[in-house]
Copies of this chain bind each other. A is one copy, B any other.
Amino acid sequence: MERPRLGFWFEFASTYSYLTAMRIETVAADRGVDLDWRPFLLGPIFARQGWSTSPFNLYPAKGRYMWRDMERLCETLGLPLVMPDPFPQNGLMAARIAHAGRKDPWIGAFVRAVYMAEFGEGRDISDPALLAGLLTDLGVDAPVLLAAAEKPEVKIGLRAAVSEAETLGIFGAPSFVTADGELFWGNDRLEDALDWALRLTD
């Protein structure tokens, strides 16, 4: 019997992806579900529907609510929360590194480190020195990964991931996709997505 799998689609600029990123590896392991780490970019998807920035900036009431909701949820989860400036952050380089390393054993720890720097400490995740430091802290060869992030195959691979996300019907982050193509959107749906993945291999 194959082990159940779940695709975790995340965008480094996404606030609610932070909540998921910090807990998904533990929660999925507890349930016996293997993860596919799928960094992608919402910018091109938003641009295609006419948005030039995050909907939380375009629609102020929604934005104010989101930050308050995040405050409450972070307090419940015991996570720090600092609003990065600017918001949204440019997560392109982080996403390229995560795409290059998506099957490496350090991927979960790297993703958590980026989100913690961004939303736990309010740091600028577009800074190559910051990303290099996070990789080094994890014992990963930072110069090799930063160089990998500039390789055409990685750039093209991340662009293909954005197209795949759109094909899967993804319009926000975090999103979860099961082996049969079922889509779940939002940190609130992580448990439902894991249940679905588990039922497929029952």
**Chain A contact residues, CB within 8 Å of chain B:** 49, 59, 61-62, 64-65, 68-69, 72, 166, 169-172, 183-185, 188-189, 192
Q: Could you say how many copies of this chain the assembly holds? A: 2
B169 touches A61 (CB 8 A): yes
Specify which of B49, B62, B188, B189 is in contact with A171 (CB 8 Å cutoff).
B62
11 contacts between A and B (CB under 8 A): A49-B59, A61-B171, A62-B171, A64-B169, A65-B169, A65-B183, A68-B183, A69-B184, A69-B185, A69-B189, A72-B192
State the Cβ distance, A150 to closest chain B Cβ, in Å.
Answer: 31
Give the complex CA separation of A172 and B61 in angstroms: 10
State the Cβ distance, A57 to closest chain B Cβ, in Å.
Answer: 12
Query: With A68-B183, A69-B184, A69-B185 given, can you name 16 additional A-B contacts, CB distance below 8 Å?
Result: A49-B59, A59-B171, A61-B166, A61-B169, A61-B170, A61-B171, A62-B171, A62-B172, A64-B169, A65-B169, A65-B171, A65-B183, A65-B185, A69-B189, A72-B192, A188-B188
Contacts of A59 in B (CB 8 A): 49, 171
Contacts of A61 in B (CB 8 A): 166, 169-171
